[in-house]
Structure 1
Amino acid sequence: MATVRPSTVLGRQLGDELRKLREAAGVSMAQAAEALDCTKGKISRIENGHVPVRTPDLMALMHAYRMEGPESQQRLLALARRANRRRREGWWHQYASLLSDTYVDQIEMESICESIRTYQVQLVPGLLQTEAYGRAVTVASRAWQTAEEIDRFVRVRIARQERLTSENPLEYWVVLSEGALRQQVGGPDVMRAQLQHLMNMAQQPNITIQVLPFSRGAHSGMFGPYLLLAFPQMTSLDLVLTETPTGNIWIEREAEVACYQALFDDARMASLPPTESLTLIQRVAKEYGS
């Protein structure tokens, strides 16, 4: 399956018009966020065309920016409808009935972000999973019951991985707890192949893999997995996705995002350098036999 990134031209056009309206009205980004009861990060992503704009939000922004004239308002509403329809052409929307809203959001954000940094405690992250490993994780999650649902979800996970090898590949920096190497998922053969896949992917120039060994002891980032997503525009604030058993949660408030940035820096500094990490991965892979 070819991964087709949805055009964000219409979204950027809408966002650019909203930014000009906001600035012309003398409304700060913080004041716009207050009008939507959201964060400045969301306003930034709207203005950069990264997220769809719901009709109630668009109406609230036009009111906050004192936009007059029904014709102008209708034009922006029509542009928003076209942009949102175009977004729904992303390949992942054919699986929308299978996926949670947060997971759909994650795939869409992956398609447009510039880099992801992630810390994983016990599992290899989805973008680096082999099909067999991903299937074992999917079965164990009990989120999908039938063989067809499991097959479809695994296909989604494999399709997401094309973001790492596309024409404009994602910069991907992964810190794995040693536990992710030793948590046996799918049996020794699956684990050996998975660790070999990690070593192969680490050769890609856009992928960095570090392992945080058990010997480092307690550290600030040991309390759960998370992803930090960064976007091309300098004005676009980072996003954090935290992973929980009952559903993933987006975090976008600047102070909280900064906390996770510091946690990731602590984790990577405590980890083995990439070359030593590969040596440890290779050693653990041998422990699973040949």
Structure 2
Amino acid sequence: MNQHRSPTIRRRRLGVELRRHREDAGITIDVVADRLGCSPSKVSRIETGHTSATPGDVQHILDIYGVDDSITAELVQIAREARQKGWWHPYSTVLTGAYVGLETAARSIGAYEQQVVPGLLQSEEYAIALIRGARLGDTEQEIEQRVRVRMQRQALLIQDDPIDLRVVLDEAVLSRPVGGDAVMLDQLGKLIEAARLPNVALQILPFAAGAHAGMDGSFVILEFEEEGDADVVFIDNATGGLFLEKSEELGKYIPLFDAIRSSALPPEESIEMIELLIEEPLWKSKRRVSGSI
């Protein structure tokens, strides 16, 4: 299976196609559920990509819709692919939602972050410190698993066919010494290293920019290669995050991200700023009004 066609994206694509064929056939979800001997909510979850369907169920559903054999065979194959285990499956106990599977399938990612370095750019020590600070109820084993997932995700940037990553970091991200001085300085160095990859564009949004288009919060835009796979906006939170998939929602976030990028420093100037911060970290400024000096 192509590295950009993760089980998550295949399940999502299958759901879209099943819903389209149901609507074309003029059949309700209740009728499908009755014929399959399951609940309407299960059919709905299959169509939204939240539940996988067996190849047999897909065959049965498409027979109900009167879909021709060639299309049925293609969708049954997608159902088989959707039931394969992604590399992240062993860590499913510490993962909520479908983000990692969608990220694995993405062709390009655009991210604006106000508070922390995004997972794809985190050093291992930064990730450990961040997770310990943010997830107070996690055991050491859970923290270790979360860090392993985060480190493995970073292969997307250096694999044979890497994703394109565009990131804007608020200056605040560089000003908070997560893990202490040594960890944060190492993290700044990792940002510079990543920013020099040909498939990564890293920009810093400085405090001097004042009010800007991204003040409502952080978000990620996941863009997919295949025409039938709609792009997704992801907004992270403590319960697993929110996925926005409607075209009108995407229509707001794409120009929003463009506006944020236009307010940020260009990539080369952003690297220079990080280099200066390594020499003179903001969190060590004597002009601070709170915390220890």
TM-score > 0.5 by shorter chain? yes
1:96 aligns with 2:92: yes
- Contact persistence 2:6–2:102 (CA under 8 A): no
Under a length normalisation based on structure 2, what TM-score does the superposition of the two structures give? 0.76
Change in 2 beyond 3 A, CA 1:278/1:236: same
Structure-2 residue corresponding to 1:138: 131
- Contact persistence 2:106–2:222 (CA under 8 A): yes
Segments of 5+ residues of structure 2 without an aligned counterpart are 33-39, 285-293
Q: Distance in 2 between matches of 1:12 and 1:84?
A: 5
1:27 aligns with 2:24: yes
Structure-2 residue corresponding to 1:158: 151
- Which aligned pairs between 1:21-170 and structure 2 lie closer than 5 A? 27=24, 53-54=52-53, 58=58, 62=62, 66-67=65-66, 79=77, 82-86=80-84, 88=85, 90-100=86-96, 102=97, 105-142=98-135, 144-170=137-163
Give, in angstroms, the shift of residue 147 of structure 1.
1.4
Give, in angstroms, the shift of residue 98 of structure 1.
2.0
Structure-1 residue corresponding to 2:217: 224
Segments of 5+ residues of structure 1 without an aligned counterpart are none
1:188 aligns with 2:184: no
Change in 2 beyond 3 A, CA 1:225/1:14: closer
Structure-1 residue corresponding to 2:226: 233
- Which aligned pairs between 1:249-264 and structure 2 lie closer than 5 A? 249-264=242-257
Partner letter of residue 89 of structure 2? H
Deviation per residue, 1:155-207 (Å, 9 max, x gap): 11000100110111010000000000101201111111101110011111000
Q: Distance in 2 between matches of 1:221 and 1:57?
A: 44
Give, in angstroms, the shift of residue 257 of structure 1.
1.2
Structure-1 residue corresponding to 2:287: none
1:242 aligns with 2:239: no
Deviates more, 1:172-181 or 1:73-82: 73-82
Q: Distance in 1 between matches of 2:184 and 2:12?
A: 47
Give, in angstroms, the shift of residue 97 of structure 1.
1.6
Q: Distance in 1 between matches of 2:106 and 2:60?
A: 27
Q: Distance in 1 between matches of 2:19 and 2:280?
A: 61
Q: Which structure's CA Rg is the greater one?
A: 2
Under a length normalisation based on structure 1, what TM-score does the superposition of the two structures give? 0.76
Change in 2 beyond 3 A, CA 1:169/1:220: same
- Contact persistence 1:195–1:285 (CA under 8 A): yes
Deviates more, 1:154-163 or 1:245-254: 245-254
1:208 aligns with 2:201: yes
- Contact persistence 2:13–2:229 (CA under 8 A): no
Give, in angstroms, the shift of residue 246 of structure 1.
3.5
- Contact persistence 2:203–2:267 (CA under 8 A): yes
